[in-house]
Structure 1
């Protein structure tokens, strides 16, 4: 049987929810503050996956302006009831501190391509909702419960309540059916039914290196739930040298021939500081049932290679991507928070025009269009046409994690209007969010003409380059530590940064005059470099 090398969805693709409909498999993953919301990938064989849709793509469904970093869309759950698809998700408006403002919604569609409905509000009692379709026709909504009194913890357990699709609301009693185990921080619930047992799969241990999957079962959906005799069923917490770390938050699927697989998030740290520059990724493990309990085929530590029905084709993964800008933005690209795209970008004449808005650190409206970093080493390149009048207008090429953590090569001007190149970085500046000073000395350039901007990342080393007109690229600035563009340096306490590294194009006009800039193309070129341990 062929095997696939984990992760199956490399780069920022956390909190996977998987469903099979006939011969088709779909995985939904979290997108947090990146718009449109929720990524759904499709596969026929569990080996080769393609992004098919981001269903939360209009203002009536999602508006994240003001959502802090690593808030927004958390842990979607994708299911099918035999007639249509259901997607439940959380839009988090605040996560730090004792209070967490988490609003849960439900959308549905006749096919994966849509049309996806406007959202139905469910509740705001916690995050990570899922929808379970019981064999008697009832639908059950489960989510973790937040208790700000912290008695004994903020993560207070898993709550169950019936959902009435005719009335479009939760109905009947609700109950805390599972308080979690000593692993703590219980979240990410999924319900299943098999052989008369109800199974509750949860994530525990937080999202860092203690993360785990816990399984419990009951004869009654309301409980009590008995914990798996060899809990956790999946974790890297006791295997610090395993290639896949931070393993947890899973979901279960069966193949047409009866095999069982678990998809889960993971991270692949680099450097001795153990930083996951690609964020939390999606991996897969083969499982089996014994005595009505689920076990991982190769034990609880996640395997790097797993047998699956299909043979992976890695050619697309290593192919150079040259993006041009014709009628629509390529599906690899996303932007931050806003559904009003006409205010931040437009396409025409083969160019991407970004409309200068707020700073690159804004939580409201910024013109930043970027794609995920999905390789540990790569080159990126673009050409910018921008005519700033002062230092408050800048546009260029950022390597970005969040407002507290980015590197940014810009075309800007000094206070006299002389155009120049300026490098800005905000390395691990939490909680101030300040630029790292002193900035590298700017390079004066002519006031007219296009500028080629580029960067290379080789593992933990980042270098910027520039060229005027048809000149050759020249390096600019120091070699930066690329590993800080990672969850571990994302500007929050442990278990608090949830996205991944991006690279792309940005434009800011802090004068409020909406000065625009044009980009001719964008290149993302994967590079095979360094230890094979970290590459697919």
Structure 2
């Protein structure tokens, strides 16, 4: 069977397309580099990361982008014997304004060198490209209204000022009339439009209700591409609003795809909440699920009825187990790792004789050049262990192991230098915003020269660091609150909406680029009963 999520860990805003027997899903990466993750499958059950296409400065440079900005909601499609990728680079999150620049790039193969992008517009975010059967291409995106009082067409949230449609071609760019084809339902926050065509109907899928627990997949249809569009009899196809006990929450923002045998499927964004202090939080961020659907009276419905997305889907394919991922040496950067914002990774790290060498750069809170190489938290419970050697000469230098969400939400165990000796320390930021105040919960722990093994154990909201200098593992300080490392942690679900990472980091705010040498990194999923929370 399929057990959702099919893409665990931070894999938000899934755009799916099929080419023959091959399926591809593109997901958002926000401030993490390279931009956009594309996974491949032939059975809709087992997926492999095959490409991160936005991998050079001409396609993407996010230095200076705030947290939760960068690449929002890509759209992947295939036409004219080429893949087409639409993406938004968001430069501002807070306040009334949005600076959201939309681009299109193309490539003959999914894992090839993608073209330098066409700039399209900046009127809103989450755009898509629809290839009609007459060969014309249509660009669709939401329109952002920065005024305190918007158009009033959808009072639920008139900042989201409708879905715009305009024709586009590589040679001419946008041309012809701009039509506002849809203002959404009373759920509001109407975004993420995708068009598809079936039986002479144009269908418009949108995401509504925001990125949190009111999220939904909304469907409408029209005989003409420019409308008018009528809403689905149930308004929405997928949503978990008002059903807090369902194991999947925050369901919305997906795309329709049809299998070669005509079976209907729909991807959706989802979260797996864990309870902490009576409140839910999604430790693994916004993930990707999939549901089988049926058609009735030219309307799409979930196969089992209702709006609640399935935790499992029966299918005659075995889902491969998720095993530990262990790197006992580094001959290249493993595919599951990313870094933040910059198209110049050679300034952050290099591979040297089986080691990953991190070059200390700016602080943990920097939006420009941070030496943080990390992978997604894919499980509510896991352990990570890494071995490094680092010889700091100042308290302004540090290297170690970090659980990271953004500049306001992280916990880290670092080798640093205090009172004339090398030592270990814990540094946390528990969501204090906007100041970003640091918490130092323990006094520095002196350690001898040589390699140190750092580890972290996470189970729901419980998190504990350990260290080993050769005499066995010992706890480093008290447990940390891992619920901070989530969308919901501290700032709230609509203030941040990416996902938790765990990885290796070096900082050197002296500017001298002190280097840390990592020789091992192991990520091991652990069993966890989400119904019992994180209590120990």
Q: Which of the five TM-score ranges fits, normalised by the shorter chain?
A: over 0.9
Provide the rounded CA distance (Å) in 1 between the counterparts of 2:142 and 2:210.
13
Provide the rounded CA distance (Å) in 1 between the counterparts of 2:112 and 2:415.
41
Equivalent in the alignment of 1:421: 424
Measure how far apart 1:170 and its partner are: 1.1
CA contact (8 A) 2:487 2:493 kept: no
The list of structure 1 runs, each at least 4 consecutive aligned residues, that deviate by more than 2 angstroms after superposition, is 307-311, 324-327, 529-534
Measure how far apart 1:494 and its partner are: 4.0
Equivalent in the alignment of 2:364: 360
Measure how far apart 1:532 and its partner are: 7.5
Determine whether 1:232 maps to 2:231.
Answer: no
SS where residue 520 of structure 1 aligns?
Answer: strand
Equivalent in the alignment of 1:403: 407
Matches within 5 A, 1:191-270: 191-270=195-274
After superposition, give the CA deviation of every residue in 1:47-96 in whole Å (9 maximum; x if it has no partner).
11111110111111111011111100000000001411000010000011
Measure how far apart 1:481 and its partner are: 1.5
Sort the Cα spacing of 1:490 and 1:29 in 2 relative to 1 into closer, same or farther, 3 A: farther
Sort the Cα spacing of 1:273 and 1:397 in 2 relative to 1 into closer, same or farther, 3 A: same
Equivalent in the alignment of 2:288: 282
Equivalent in the alignment of 1:475: 475
Equivalent in the alignment of 1:322: 326
After superposition, give the CA deviation of every residue in 1:398-451 in whole Å (9 maximum; x if it has no partner).
01110000000000001x431110100001111211112x531110112x2111
Provide the rounded CA distance (Å) in 2 between the counterparts of 1:155 and 1:529.
39
Matches within 5 A, 1:15-94: 15-94=13-92
Provide the rounded CA distance (Å) in 2 between the counterparts of 1:532 and 1:113.
40
Matches within 5 A, 1:131-530: 131-149=129-147, 150-151=149-150, 152=152, 153-167=158-172, 169-271=173-275, 272-298=278-304, 299-308=306-315, 310-314=317-321, 317=322, 319-414=323-418, 416-436=419-439, 438-446=440-448, 448-468=449-469, 470-489=470-489, 491=491, 493-530=492-529
Sort the Cα spacing of 1:309 and 1:44 in 2 relative to 1 into closer, same or farther, 3 A: farther
Provide the rounded CA distance (Å) in 1 between the counterparts of 2:495 and 2:430.
17
Provide the rounded CA distance (Å) in 2 between the counterparts of 1:40 and 1:527.
26
Sort the Cα spacing of 1:441 and 1:418 in 2 relative to 1 into closer, same or farther, 3 A: same
CA contact (8 A) 2:432 2:490 kept: no
Provide the rounded CA distance (Å) in 2 between the counterparts of 1:417 and 1:61.
46
Provide the rounded CA distance (Å) in 1 between the counterparts of 2:307 and 2:451.
54
After superposition, give the CA deviation of every residue in 1:493-532 in whole Å (9 maximum; x if it has no partner).
5423111111110000011111111101111111113348
Q: Calculate the aligned-residue CA RMSD, in Å.
A: 1.5
Provide the rounded CA distance (Å) in 1 between the counterparts of 2:139 and 2:116.
18
SS where residue 442 of structure 2 aligns?
Answer: coil
Measure how far apart 1:184 and its partner are: 0.4
Measure how far apart 1:127 and its partner are: 0.3
Provide the rounded CA distance (Å) in 1 between the counterparts of 2:340 and 2:329.
19
Provide the rounded CA distance (Å) in 1 between the counterparts of 2:370 and 2:165.
39
CA contact (8 A) 1:122 1:170 kept: yes
Unpaired runs of 5+ residues, structure 1, are none
CA contact (8 A) 2:398 2:508 kept: yes
CA contact (8 A) 2:11 2:286 kept: yes
Measure how far apart 1:490 and its partner are: 6.2
Measure how far apart 1:11 and its partner are: 0.6
CA contact (8 A) 1:55 1:116 kept: yes
Provide the rounded CA distance (Å) in 2 between the counterparts of 1:479 and 1:490.
18
CA contact (8 A) 1:325 1:348 kept: no
CA contact (8 A) 1:188 1:249 kept: yes
Measure how far apart 1:115 and its partner are: 2.0
Sort the Cα spacing of 1:464 and 1:101 in 2 relative to 1 into closer, same or farther, 3 A: same
Farther off after superposition, 331-340 or 305-314? 305-314
After superposition, give the CA deviation of every residue in 1:479-499 in whole Å (9 maximum; x if it has no partner).
1121221000264x5423111
Provide the rounded CA distance (Å) in 1 between the counterparts of 2:516 and 2:60.
27
Provide the rounded CA distance (Å) in 2 between the counterparts of 1:532 and 1:254.
34
Aligned length: 524
Measure how far apart 1:310 and its partner are: 2.8
CA contact (8 A) 1:45 1:309 kept: no
After superposition, give the CA deviation of every residue in 1:214-253 in whole Å (9 maximum; x if it has no partner).
1011111111110111111110002111111000001000
SS where residue 226 of structure 2 aligns?
Answer: coil
Unpaired runs of 5+ residues, structure 2, are 153-157
Provide the rounded CA distance (Å) in 2 between the counterparts of 1:408 and 1:93.
27
